[in-house]
Structure 1
Amino acid sequence: MLSITQIFPISFLKTWIQSQQHIVIRSYAARKGTRDRKNKKKVKTVVEKIGFIPHNQRNREKLLAERPSRKFDDSWQRKPMDDIYCAKYYQWKIYPFQEAINCHKETHHPEIYNQPQAPVKALIELYMQGEKKTKFIENFNRICAVQHKFDHGEERKIIAFAKDIDSQQLAIRAGAQLTGGVELIKEIQNGKVSLQDFQFVIAHPDILHELSTLRGLMKKKFPNPKSGTLDIHLDEVVNRYLNGINYTAVKDEYEKDFGIIETIIGYLDMDPAQLEENFAALVKDVMVMKPKRDGKFITRTLLMSPPSGEQFKIDHKLYLEENDTPVAISEEEIDKQVVL
């Protein structure tokens, strides 16, 4: 391997070394504005802080597009002209109530399902829009009074408050488990009686002032006129809460303007006329929750009887008076009634 002295002459190397000693190294500043232009070219990634989003609000538009709507409207379809037609191209047939019950009795005959005492369920679809288009009715639970009792399969214990002894006795005769006045309120405050043992609390308006001391313990169970737990006729209230139809309107997670009620109104071995009266009472009670707006509240009513999957459409308008349009009581009106 050749050395550098063999490649370049010594005189050349001396001259090159002397020239390198005269080189001055300087650091010149960049031209004005160069750093600013470079900084502008840099793309800043801004991370947006997103709070907690409920599961039913995530990718809402995508879910609504993929998920079939639960709202049903066949008003634009034709009505069938005879007994033979393709059901999906025509409106649902509306059955008289008793005919629908007889149809269910045929399917529950001993030769088919063999359940002649099967429960009869009412399926009520609701339009849950409130007074404003952007507001919707929240889920609500009510108990509807019925004339014809049936085994609802629930344990319902009731405690009643009243100053008047006669009202207390009427509540006991109607089926209340415990009644009392100011003394009963003191026993609850001392821990001798637990409100958790009772599903419903009813009261007479004459003891409402003393009962306000238990508002923190009762919370949603506190008697009020909107739910019907604050009334002067305690025997009627006890009868309604013991034997009435307990139903809940549930709003859809994604379609806020759609709600549904599914509840038992009786059994197939009952008289169809009695079942019809229970159904009429249920429809009227649901209409009490109608908001102060125009348009429909109940959109469709169906009759079911498990285990059969058949559903028969019923015209609920037959059980409502033409001029009778019940409206839900506003909170201000409720407060006025309580004060009075």
Structure 2
Amino acid sequence: MIQSGLLIVRGVSVLQNKSIISSLSSLGTNLTAVSVSNTQVRCYAARKGYRKQREAKKVKKEKVKISFSEKVRLEKEAKLRSRHGILKFDDSKKPLPVDNVWVQMFYQWKVYSFKEAVQCHRETHHPEMYNKPQEKLNVRVELNMEGEKKTRLLDDFHRVVAMPHKFDMGEERTVLALAKSPDIQAVARDAGATLVGGVELIKEIQTGSIALTDFQTVVAHPDILVDMVCLRGLMKKKFPNPKNGTLSPDLEKAIDTYLNGLKYSAMKNQFEKDFGLIETFIGTLDMDINHLEENFASVIRDIHKMKPKRDGEFVRRCLLWSPPVVERLKVDYSVYLENDKGKDEETDEDEEVEKVAVQ
């Protein structure tokens, strides 16, 4: 198409355009050839949010300063998150070692009897080695926190278990005992209760003459429970309860448990909610090995009382260790577990106590 001495050539390449110009020049024509592409240009709206993103990139982001403690917390949280999925240790698919020397990571952990594990720790803490024969003997118990239904998990729990053989817990404990009968009050005093009283003591607590914060635990006999109802709001979690042993007809046993018993807590992992962990200690290495074993059995049996009514294991693994040695020895705990019948009998006893308290 020719317009006013201008030749517009559409849809041709640059090389074709040059050939056309050269051919026209040879003919002596005074025309100018212009190549116009067939590319269509259309205006579309920007993607939603694109402009905001572009503007946000231009803005300089200010660095937020965090404290050292917050930095440590974030690093610890990142470390826990990176370990997600490896807390629930299971080496059942690995082979058993066949020699007396093996690479631990490729074989199942050796399972020791309790006495064998204690003896191993005593050898490492001997005066000729670490020279700490009186070091604490720690217990690490790993739990399966699944409830009766897999969609429900057990709550964290805190318990106190009586130790057959006492040892220094490293803290002073205070117990407030309440009972109506003067004879029971005398028994409570002999058991070592910090403060013992009856109805008159309840009135002093109401008026504020006695502060409940001065006592770690409050134990009571069922005969005074009716008079204690007015203190439920003040005591809250400290209010005596037969489930944790603070409301009991055997006040002497309850006081001894909370004065000399072992406190432990089962806590769910922050990222693996079905993994629970208990870390406590059951004595020192210089104690009689039979006494240590009885203390260990008491702790394992008390933990097993919290097992929900479902199939499968509750205690996943039990390890013994003693600082400064980092070696943990796997212990066979199943030999100390009682049958479910004994557990049901204890539950029935608690229900009877509750019925007596209500009456």
Tell me which interval the TM-score lies in, with the shorter structure as reference length. Answer: 0.7 to 0.9
Query: Which residue does the alignment assign to 1:185?
Result: 202
Change (3 A) 1:175 1:210: same
Cα deviations by residue, 1:71-96 (Å, 9 ceiling, x for unpaired): 11111211222312221111111111
Q: Secondary structure at the match of 1:248?
A: strand
Structure 1 runs not aligned, ≥5 long:
1-40, 46-55
Corresponding position: 1:201 with 2:218: yes
Match of 2:269 among 252, 261, 279: 252
Task: Name the amino acid aligned to 2:95.
Answer: R
Query: Which residue does the alignment assign to 1:161?
Result: 178
Q: Is the 8 A contact 2:165 2:295 kept in 1?
A: yes
Q: Secondary structure at the match of 2:267?
A: strand
Change (3 A) 1:334 1:80: farther
Change (3 A) 1:183 1:323: closer
Cα deviation for residue 322 of structure 1 reads 4.7
Cα deviation for residue 69 of structure 1 reads 2.2
Query: Which residue does the alignment assign to 2:98?
Result: 81
Query: Which residue does the alignment assign to 1:24?
Result: none
Matched residues in 2 for 1:296 and 1:66: separation?
23
Task: Name the amino acid aligned to 2:129.
Answer: I
Query: Which residue does the alignment assign to 1:97?
Result: 114
Change (3 A) 1:134 1:334: farther
The TM-score with structure 1 as length reference comes to: 0.78
Change (3 A) 1:121 1:173: same
Match of 2:233 among 196, 200, 216: 216
Corresponding position: 1:232 with 2:249: yes
How many residues are aligned here?
288
Matched residues in 2 for 1:74 and 1:334: separation?
44
Matched residues in 1 for 2:221 and 2:123: separation?
47
Identity within the alignment, %: 52
Structure 2 runs not aligned, ≥5 long:
1-44, 50-72
Task: Name the amino acid aligned to 2:230.
Answer: T
Moved beyond 2 Å, runs of 4+ = 41-45, 63-69, 321-330, 332-340
Change (3 A) 1:316 1:92: same
Cα deviations by residue, 1:20-54 (Å, 9 ceiling, x for unpaired): xxxxxxxxxxxxxxxxxxxxx89767xxxxxxxxx
Query: Which residue does the alignment assign to 1:339?
Result: 358
Query: Which residue does the alignment assign to 2:28?
Result: none
Matched residues in 2 for 1:108 and 1:259: separation?
29
Query: Which residue does the alignment assign to 2:259?
Result: 242
Q: CA RMSD in A?
A: 2.9
Query: Which residue does the alignment assign to 1:136?
Result: 153
Task: Name the amino acid aligned to 2:191.
Answer: A
Q: Is the 8 A contact 1:152 1:264 kept in 2?
A: no
Corresponding position: 1:122 with 2:139: yes
Q: Secondary structure at the match of 1:123?
A: strand
Cα deviation for residue 326 of structure 1 reads 3.4
Query: Which residue does the alignment assign to 1:148?
Result: 165
The TM-score with structure 2 as length reference comes to: 0.74
Matched residues in 2 for 1:64 and 1:72: separation?
16
Q: Is the 8 A contact 1:225 1:334 kept in 2?
A: no
Change (3 A) 1:75 1:326: farther
Change (3 A) 1:107 1:140: same
Query: Which residue does the alignment assign to 1:265?
Result: 282
Task: Name the amino acid aligned to 2:158.
Answer: N
Q: Is the 8 A contact 2:248 2:353 kept in 1?
A: no
Cα deviation for residue 323 of structure 1 reads 5.2
